[in-house]
């Protein structure tokens, strides 16, 4: 019950944050923030860092996300021999991509047009890379957290996934294809969707355990 309350509270906080970002974007209040953060991130732009950032951003691309999702879903199905966790990963990842596209077409924010290091078209708000990466890698981290017995290993893997997600977001700003507010909005929207998926997973898991107990009794 406490976990459910915390999850709902987190969704509310992230939703308010997302709405605040959208409001400031629509009124252009966010422009100064976007310029400042972009300048800080791109201050040390050079060819070596650009290569690294392009590599990092690939880990949030549709093709790589698809391959990692398929591999993880297959692994969990083979090891666990049940459908709930693979279904959770499928719904979370697919849903986040569909939701990101829906939000982009709803808000119609153009991408940055100055100093792009990647040739990308389409709308900008929220960042799909940031949103889908947070959902997929966050979902994997959650499943590993509840399954792995080693506390140190759980913290290490979770921290690694968090850093990966953050750097994917930073790479989008560095490469000039997103504003910082796009990335933050992607994280917020991804956090909302992932939390809802985790809450649903916990509810279904609980009801499944109760049903099994009833069958045994």
For 40-92, the DSSP string reads HHTTT--HHHHHHHHHHHHTTSHHHHHHHHHHHHHHHHHHH--SHHHHHHHHH
Residue 111: CB atoms within 10 A of its CB come to: 16
- Binned at pLDDT 50, 70 and 90, residue 214 comes out as low
**pLDDT recorded at residue 116:** 78
Q: How many domains would you assign to the chain?
A: 1
Between 90 and 213, name the one with better pLDDT: 90
**pLDDT recorded at residue 174:** 92
- Binned at pLDDT 50, 70 and 90, residue 121 comes out as confident
Residue 18 is part of which domain span?
Answer: 2-216
d(C-alpha 42, C-alpha 81), whole Å: 47
d(C-alpha 99, C-alpha 93), whole Å: 10
- Binned at pLDDT 50, 70 and 90, residue 215 comes out as low
Between 116 and 16, name the one with better pLDDT: 16
């Amino acid at each position: 019950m406490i976990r459910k309350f915390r999850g709902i509270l987190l969704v509310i906080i992230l939703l308010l944050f997302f709405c605040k970002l959208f409001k400031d974007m629509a009124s252009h209040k966010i422009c100064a923030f976007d310029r400042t953060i972009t300048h800080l991130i791109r201050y040390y732009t050079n060819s070596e860092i650009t290569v690294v950032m392009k590599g990092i951003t690939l880990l949030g691309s549709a093709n790589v996300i698809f391959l990692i999702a398929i591999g993880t879903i297959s692994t969990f199905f083979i090891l666990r021999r049940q459908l709930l966790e693979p279904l959770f990963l499928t719904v979370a990842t697919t849903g986040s991509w569909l939701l990101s596209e829906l939000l982009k077409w709803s808000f119609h924010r153009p991408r940055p047009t100055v100093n792009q290091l990647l040739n990308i078209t389409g709308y900008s708000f929220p960042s799909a890379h940031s949103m889908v990466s947070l959902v997929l890698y966050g979902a994997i981290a959650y499943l590993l957290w509840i399954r792995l017995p080693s506390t140190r290993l759980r913290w290490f893997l979770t921290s690694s996934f968090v850093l990966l997600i953050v750097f994917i977001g930073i790479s989008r700003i560095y490469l000039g294809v997103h504003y910082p507010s796009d990335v933050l909005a992607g994280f917020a929207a991804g956090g909302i969707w992932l939390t809802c998926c985790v809450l649903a997973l916990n509810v279904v898991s609980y009801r499944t355990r109760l049903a099994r107990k009833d069958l045994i009794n």
